[in-house]
Amino acid sequence: MSSPPATAVVLVAHGSRSEAANEAHRELCAQVAAVTGLDVTPGFLELATPSIPDALDQAVATGATRVRVVPYFLHPGRHLAEDLPRLVDEASERHRQRASIELTGHVGGDERMVQLLADLARDQG
Amino acid sequence: MSSPPATAVVLVAHGSRSEAANEAHRELCAQVAAVTGLDVTPGFLELATPSIPDALDQAVATGATRVRVVPYFLHPGRHLAEDLPRLVDEASERHRQRASIELTGHVGGDERMVQLLADLARDQG
């Protein structure tokens, strides 16, 4: 067994009543893991498991000393402005002896999203 | 006044009770318009205006003979599988003398989304 990577990623989604949507998110995590070579696990704000706190605790428990929390959210709102920062702050406090936990920008706020949409609009899918 | 472009784009979002989220979507449309040089207008499935049928009718009314409908949705589900195809079919029927209306893939199903997430995960934001 090799040691786990020092950096782990929790890809955060809102969570859905549709299990197909939740399963699609889990598959997306696997795709991002394959591209990056990092441990990438899902964390759901509500309606699905694991919860974000559980996902963060698990990432630290498996040995990560740095956890990047990537919000798979399109639009700004209370979840991005309040809920996620609070959950990350609480986990940082729980694990401050062992790991740093960092919240990244959300995908919807990224300029590369504009480019992706432009490509779809121009039929360069 | 120049004539409108033959291709118009309706960027479809779910719509939110948060007017800030709806406004962010309208701003995103403006950004995609700036990048593509196309008319890009919002269409909301619910909770905000214009509705998708109204946005499609308006695009045709302004002279577009081809309308690309781009779903700004992350996860597969009933909206993508049923609601959007039905709305596009109905608009195609209404306007079949004047315009073709095409539904593109959604952003969450695009392989470039995996790359965007990988970059965020690896701190290459």
Render pLDDT for A63-99 as a digit per residue (tens, 0 to 9). Answer: 999 999 999 999 888 899 999 999 999 999 999 999 9
Closest CA to B84 of B1, B12, B17: B12
Task: Tell me phi and psi for residue B111, to 5 degrees.
Answer: -65, -25
With a cut of 60, say whether residue A125 has pLDDT above it: no
Model confidence pLDDT, tens digit, residues B54-109: 999 999 999 999 999 999 999 888 899 999 999 999 999 999 999 999 999 999 98
pTM of the model: 0.89
Q: pLDDT at position A32, please?
A: 97
By a Cβ cutoff of 8 Å, what residues of chain A touch chain B?
9, 11, 13, 16, 18, 20-21, 24-25, 28, 31-32, 35-36, 38, 40, 68, 70, 72, 74-78, 104-105, 107-108, 110, 112-123, 125
CB A73 within 8 A of CB A79: yes
Query: What is the reported pLDDT for A5?
Result: 53
Q: What is the pLDDT of residue A3?
A: 57
Per-residue DSSP letter, A51: B
Q: Which region among A96-105, B2-11, B46-55 has the lowest average model confidence (pLDDT)?
A: B2-11
Mean pLDDT of A24-53: 97
Rounded Cα distance between B73 and A79, Å, is: 17
**Coil, strand or helix: which one is A40?**
strand
Q: List the one residue out of A80, A69, A68, A66 whose CA is nearest residue A109.
A: A80
Task: Provide the ipTM.
Answer: 0.91
Please compute the mean of the pLDDT values over residues A15-33 and round it to a whole number: 94
